[in-house]
Amino acid sequence: MKRFLVAIDGPAGAGKSTVARQVAERLGLTYVDTGAMYRALAWKALRDGVDMEDEEAVAHLAESITFTLEPNGIRVNGIPLKDEIRTPQVSELASAVATMPKVRKILVNKQQEIAASQSVVMDGRDIGTHVLPNADVKIFLTASIDERARRRYKELTAKGIPADLEALQEQIRRRDENDRNRAYAPLRQAEDAILVDTTNQSVQEVIEVILQHCRNKL
């Protein structure tokens, strides 16, 4: 059977992972969370004491480790990682290593290898523009900054983690700016991507919209 490739891009907090994971499940495809790869790399570099400003050293680490993507997480050299890659420190470091062209080339290669042998729903920032330019369906998922901050606030407080709405808005604004303005592979909507604004839509509504676009191409 021909491979079927779905690319879902968008800014931080637009709900990509939740939506992409469920779309993959409904279509019986493999879900690939590329953000988790940048996060896992940052976590490993931190643990191994690798100098995060040394692009060569981080790239060397990226090349030498094995990432295993699973439906609900990621393994690095066999070690399962979950909440430890979602801390503010790792988020910040992931965003920094993601600006390094040598690191991106290595991770993009690994992402393309995963998609070379199977059908996938892959989410990230550069999937439709860079990693899978020939994807069958490209979605650009977005929501207003206020709404993304509100969702993050709910997520944190539900876990009992104290949060400040204004500080979250500021963080999201900063991450957007980093992702959109970096010199290499910045976040942007691919010309042939479908824009889905989730500000006033429930997760289930967004999933149905994306599934419909997929079914039109299947």
Q: How far apart are CA 128 and CA 190, in angstroms?
A: 6
Q: How far apart are CA 214 and CA 11, in angstroms?
A: 21
Binding-residue pattern over the window 170 to 189 for ligand C5P, x denoting contact by CB under 6 A: -----x---x----------
Q: Which stretch binds ligand C5P (CB under 6 A): 22-30, 31-39, 46-54, 56-64?
A: 31-39
Q: How far apart are CA 27 and CA 212, in angstroms?
A: 11
- Do 151 and 199 touch, CB atoms closer than 8 A? no
Min CB(82)–ligand C5P separation in Å: 13
Q: Which is nearer to ligand C5P, 1 or 116 (CB)?
A: 116
By CB under 6 A, the count of residues binding ligand C5P is 13
Q: Other CB atoms closer than 10 Å to residue 166's CB: what's the count?
A: 9
- Do 20 and 123 touch, CB atoms closer than 8 A? yes
- Asked if 31 is part of the footprint of ligand C5P (rule: CB under 6 A), the reply reads no
Residues near ligand C5P, by CB under 6 A: 12, 34-35, 38-39, 94-95, 98, 124-126, 175, 179
Binding-site residues for ATP sit at 10-18
